[in-house]
Structure formats: structure tokens, C-alpha cells
Chains A and B, each alone.
Chain A
């Protein structure tokens, strides 16, 4: 799943029939500048941080196996501060580093 930020709605009157009248949103993936279009069954506002699924899970998430979507929003993140998101990632790596130390201690004990 990808973490994306909603930019706004996308209006496309001429569309293939199987897309029905679902809401489409322009989203930007975290850490990249490229805009993508996602189906929104949830109901997001511009600026919301959301999680989106790709591949065949996107079709199921949009409601049916036959729905032609390759990116579907599955949830709105309650609290996401982009800067703290990065800090969180750092903290995670620190923890794993600490875990690595612990593992080393164990292995030395075993040795």
C-alpha cells in the first residue's frame, strides 16, 4: 500500500462505462512529485493523507473484480505529519539497530 496525499478531484465526463460514476482523485505519492489518479470509494478531501492499494487488490477494493482500477483509496490516515513520518522511520531504524545489538549480544553469549 502506498501513502498518498490528495490534491483534488478529477473531472472526466467522457469515460469508459465500466468506471461508472465513481469519484476520481488526483493524488501525489509521498516522496515523489508524480501525480496519479485513484478511485475514491471512501470520500476524501483535498489535503488528506490516505492509503491506496494497487494491482488486482485495487479492483476488489473498488467494489468488484471487474472494476477497472489500478489504484484505489482504502483509508484516510487519521493523523499524519509528513515530517514526523520521516522521523518515525528514523526511530524505527534506530530500534532495529538496537535489536541488531541485542542479537549480537545473544550470539556472543551463545558463542
Chain B
């Protein structure tokens, strides 16, 4: 699992059937690289979250048929930017 920060929502109306109606978020890692993650929890922009990758991302989405390779697993209670950047 990796630590990411939620940047913003991502709206895609026309999408693959197996993405279902799951909400998507743009997240950034400690280097500022942007990725898109599926969000079963409802994280807000600015929240630090940990994301699950690989095939575990599909089970984390609640249904192993969902086509995702990055899913938010939880919102981190206490985290600071300095610890994240170094």
C-alpha cells in the first residue's frame, strides 16, 4: 500500500461497464505524480489516504469484477506533509 493525498474528484460519464458507478479521485504521491484511484470511502480533497494496488485493488473495491488497479483503502488519521515528503 502507498500513501497518497487526494487532489480532487474525477468525473467520467462515459466509462467502462465494469467501472460501475464507483467514484474516482485524482491522488498524488510524495513526488507529486498524479494517479487516479477508485474511492469506496468518500475521501475529501486534502485527505491523506493509503491506496491498495495490484490485484488486491479489485477485492478492495468490494467486487472482484471491478476493473481498477488502485483503490483507496482508508483515510489516515494523523499524517503530516514533512514526514510524507522525506
State the A residues within 8 Å of B (CB): 10-16, 18-19, 24, 26, 33-39, 54-56, 58-59, 66-71
Set of chain B residues within 8 Å of A12, measured between Cβ atoms: 50, 73-77
Q: Are B3 and A37 in contact (CB under 8 A)?
A: yes
Interface of A is mostly: mixed
Residues of A within 8 A of B71 (CB): 16, 68
Spell out B's residues near A (CB within 8 Å): 1-3, 30, 40-41, 50, 52-57, 59-60, 62, 71-78, 84, 86
Q: Which single member of B52, B62, B75 contacts A69 (CB below 8 Å)?
A: B52
* Contact of A70 with B54 in the complex, beta carbons under 8 Å: yes
Q: How far is the CA of A13 from the CA of B49 in the complex (A)?
A: 11
Q: Give chain B's interface secondary structure class.
A: mixed
Contact among A33, A36, A55, A67 with B54 in the assembled complex (CB-CB below 8 Å): A55
A33 with B1: CB separation less than 8 A: no
Who on chain A is nearest to B43 by CB? A14
| A70 in contact with B78 given A37-B3, A59-B59 (CB within 8 Å) | no
Can you name 18 A-B residue pairings with CB atoms under 8 Å?
A12-B75, A12-B77, A13-B77, A15-B74, A16-B40, A16-B72, A16-B74, A18-B60, A19-B60, A35-B84, A36-B1, A36-B3, A55-B54, A56-B55, A56-B56, A66-B59, A67-B59, A68-B59
- Bound-complex Cα distance A26 to B41 (A): 21
Report the Cα distance A59→B57, complex, angstroms.
11
Q: Are A19 and B3 in contact (CB under 8 A)?
A: no
Contact B56 A10 (CB under 8 A): no
Chain A residues contacting B50 (CB-CB under 8 Å) are 10, 12, 24, 37
6 new A-B contacts, CB < 8 A, other than A18-B62, A58-B54, A58-B56, are A12-B76, A15-B73, A16-B71, A16-B74, A35-B84, A37-B1
